[in-house]
Amino acid sequence: MPPSFALSAAGNVALAWGGVLFWLCLGFAALFLQRARGLNDLIFPLGALGALFMAGVGIAGVLGTPTAIVLPIGLPDLPFHLRLDPLSGFFLTLLGGAAFGVTLVAWGYFRSLESGPLALIALWYHLFLAGMATVLLADDAYAFMVAWEVMALSSYFLVTSAHDQPEIRRAGFLYLLIAHVGAVALLLCFGVLQGGAGDYTFNSMRLAETTPYWASVAYLLALFGFGAKAGLVPLHVWLPEAHPAAPSPVSALMSGVMLKTAIYGLLRVTFDLLNIQLAWWGTLALALGLISALYGVIFAAVQSDMKRLLAWSSIENIGVILAGFGLTLIFHTDGKGALAALALTATLYHALNHAFFKGLLFTGAGAVLHTTGERNMDKLGGLMRVMPWTAWLTLIGALAIAGLPPLNGFVSEWLLLQAFLFTPGLNQPYLNMLIPVATAAVALAAALAAYVMVKFFGVTFLGVTRSGVVAQAHEAGCRERIGMIWLAAGCVLLGLFPAQVIGWLAPVARQLTGHTLPNDGNWLLLAPLDAERASYAPLLFLAVVAATLLLVFVWVRRVYHGHVRHAAPWDCGYPEQDARMQDTAEGFGQPIRHIFSAFMGVEREEPDPFDRQPRHSSATLDQIWFFVYLPIARLSNWISAQFGRLQHGSIQWYLIYSFATLIFLLVFVTG
Amino acid sequence: MALTYHLQVVNLLAALLLLISFAMLSQRRIVNLVTLFAWQGAALSASTAIVAWSTGQHHLYWSAGLTLLLKVIVMPWFFYRLVRQLDVNRDVEAMLNIPTTMLIGIALVIFAFNLALPISQMSGTVTRSTLGIAMACVLLAFLMMITRRKAITQVIGFLAMENSLFFAATSATYGMPLVVEMGVALDVLVGVFVLGIFFFQIRETFDSLDLRHMEKLKER
């Protein structure tokens, strides 16, 4: 590796740690200097610059050699080990790139807050960023868990920033609970990984020889722990609750970046820390990922709440990413290194894309929410005329997440499908038969994601205004617009220059799978394995699309326009058209609700025929909540109640407990 | 031989301690209970002094003196005053009837002797054979705390347990270091005064020192 990429003497990792410290200083400066006027206009832009710096360090980290430092902080004899290798560098780039745009949006979004709450939000926000960055840099389990908890707690406080509302407190509690159940699993996982050596640095874990049995235990614990953070079905229930509760820039960060830290952790544990990988791990991850993807997208299709829809869509995307991860594992254990590199590249690419387009969509939804105060799409509509900037930028995000070329979503999904199509070469006959089904599932999820986005964009921004809230709506401020333009530009550029991005990703693929994609250096044409078999030229595609559009535009304007006849004799049955006649979010989701009714509980309330003010309502319920979570909650309540019986209030009984314990211990000692 | 003679006196005092423990277990009136507690302290003090004299462990004299001062003079006097002020010198209601309690006590003594057998074989002190008795006294005092309903009897039971532990320490290892013993003695003294204040508070709140009223304090 060329040493020129090391930007400082101690290496890139020192620079990255400097960025973390910078964020920490900003957060505490916001807290202690909250009386200073105009502070908001200083803290958030500086935070955004820090994010940009982090992205730069991350890019250098991918290209450079791994660097590590040991920091003498924390408990005695337990210093923080930090390391920046290509994998960390990639995710650091993702963090910095998405956080730059989102922080600019946050700058405008939180402007109207009073100084006290604003200072707290600025503190938690920058702690959140610093925590996520430290998770990516940590090189021992202790530093990792500390950073992981900082990330979880600061995001909890961000989610519950409007804690005067009970449902937001409830959402925050659910988030905190699942985050901690996951953290416990991770703690156990690291306990297994250190293999009895008692040394919790990642370096010693890399050297530890684990048996297949214990490696599987560690992998399952990691899958559970990181799955809880990523929102893997059935651990996803906090996402649709926490995202609507959180302020929009926070949702954007949580969905775009924080979920990816879980993917990072899973990759780190599986490919880096464990010395063996087993084939069935990949099959399991693939199955869970596909279930998450389909489950998420189906539920996204039936939501009326913008942010809830986007949260479900995040579950879908995490599912796709996890399916890619599983496929990577399958290829890797099957000895197909180049294919594993392809699947891994697709997975990472999709993670990066998701950070950009989901950040863009959440900030777009946030701009709408900020100005209308309404999350329910059935009360919105026609916003494109009022807020054209937001609408067009959100459209770019929607097209990207729907997987349409020439935007970035298409590239990663195409790469992933390519990887799936190469599976017939596998040595496992059962997998060979099942993978086509999985391919179909991924394709179905991608198609339904497009459906979801048509619904999201169409109902919110197009059509006729549905309620009065839209009348007072105004365009998002210039700060939000700059942030969104950055994110949209990310979506476009990642879509137009995939060959460059994939070339940049090569060190990550080499680090994890030992192989890279054959990069033929053709910057125009993306051909993952073999140009004969499949290739994609985004710029060419863009040129054709643009040319077609121009041609149609000119045709309609110049040639056809003059022949339009204005007449309204019959109006096609719409003599009086009003807002209630257009398709609603509920109505748009109806076919999906009908087709997939087996997966979801639908609660309908039909009006009585004689009711003077008839009301019809229907709610879609997540069955997992009723079949998994409520029984567990009831069971733990029951167990607690049984233990509650121990409390008599009678001192005699308490003495008897001690007495029995004493006798038991004495017998135990002598026996 | 002088040692065996002293040893026999210590054994006698140990038997006395056990007897007093049984007497406390069967005693229904609080004033008599306090008297028995004072006698227990006296026996303990005497046995500690004899052990000190026979083995030449001089710090044990201090322990014996401290026991005499606190457990035979100060605390019984304090309890007599407390009983008078609180006017609680009636029959103490027991949770179990006395004969049943005695039978359980006998079972505990047998258990304690069995328990102490291997331990006293390991111990190198001259007084090791009394370890079983000391443990039996601990368990009996515990049993007294369990079976009585009045707050004062609980405290006396607690102090009797402390006496027995002290005796166990003396017989197994010639007592703890003096600093520890003085600390324990001070703790016990302060504890008794604090509990004395609590008695008044409990009576003020519940109009009685009966612990059954405190069951209201539990959740739900």
How far is it, in rounded angstroms, from Cα B129 to Cα B168? 10
A660 touches chain B (CB under 8 A): no
Q: Does pLDDT of A571 surpass 70?
A: no
Total number of domains in chain B: 1
B216 touches chain A (CB under 8 A): yes
Cβ-based contacts of B96 with chain A (< 8 Å): none
Task: State the average pLDDT over residues A421-450.
Answer: 83
How far is it, in rounded angstroms, from Cα A351 to Cα A260? 7
Domain residues for the domain of B128 are 2-217
| Cβ–Cβ below 8 Å for A659 and B118 | no
Q: Is the dihedral of CA A14, A19, A20, A25 positive or negative?
A: positive
Strands A80-84 and A67-71: antiparallel
Shortest distance, CA A669 to any CA of chain B (angstroms): 9
Q: Which residues contact A248 (CB under 8 A, 6 or more apart)?
A: A105, A109, A307, A362, A363, A365, A366, A367, A369, A370
Residues 104-133 of B with CB under 8 A from A: 111, 114-115, 118
- pLDDT at position A33 is 85
Q: How confident is the model at residue A586 (pLDDT cuts 50, 70, 90)?
A: confident
Q: Which residues contact A428 (CB under 8 A, 6 or more apart)?
A: A279, A334
Q: Which range among A158-162, A348-352, B98-102 has the greatest average pLDDT?
A: A348-352
- pLDDT at position A4 is 40
What are the helix (H) ranges across A64-165? Answer: 86-109, 115-137, 141-159
How far is it, in rounded angstroms, from Cα A61 to Cα A70? 17
The SS3 call for residue A601 is strand
Cβ-based contacts of B115 with chain A (< 8 Å): 666-667, 670
Give the amino acid at A41.
D
Q: Which residues contact B4 (CB under 8 A, 6 or more apart)?
A: none
Shortest distance, CA B13 to any CA of chain A (angstroms): 25
Q: How confident is the model at residue A72 (pLDDT cuts 50, 70, 90)?
A: confident
CB atoms within 10 A of CB A579: 14
A664 touches chain B (CB under 8 A): no
B219 touches chain A (CB under 8 A): yes
Q: Does pLDDT of A643 surpass 50?
A: yes
Length of chain B in terms of residues written: 220
Cβ atoms of A109 and A248 within 8 Å: the answer is yes
Structure tokens at A67: 């660097």
Output phi, psi for A30, to 5 deg. -60, -35
Q: Which of A71, A75, A18, A78 is nearest to A49 (CA)?
A: A18
Q: Does pLDDT of A53 surpass 80?
A: yes
Q: Does pLDDT of A5 surpass 50?
A: no
pLDDT-wise least confident of A2-11, A238-247, B206-215: A2-11
Q: Does pLDDT of A3 surpass 50?
A: no
Cβ atoms of A525 and A502 within 8 Å: the answer is no
Cβ-based contacts of A671 with chain B (< 8 Å): none
Q: Does pLDDT of A162 surpass 70?
A: yes
Q: Is the dihedral of CA A416, A418, A419, A420 positive or negative?
A: positive
* CA trace torsion A485, A488, A493, A496 (10° rounding): -140
Q: Which range among A161-170, A312-321, A402-411, B185-194 has the greatest average pLDDT?
A: A312-321
Q: Which range among A115-124, A555-564, A631-640 has the greatest average pLDDT?
A: A631-640
Q: Which residues contact A626 (CB under 8 A, 6 or more apart)?
A: A601
- pLDDT at position A105 is 94
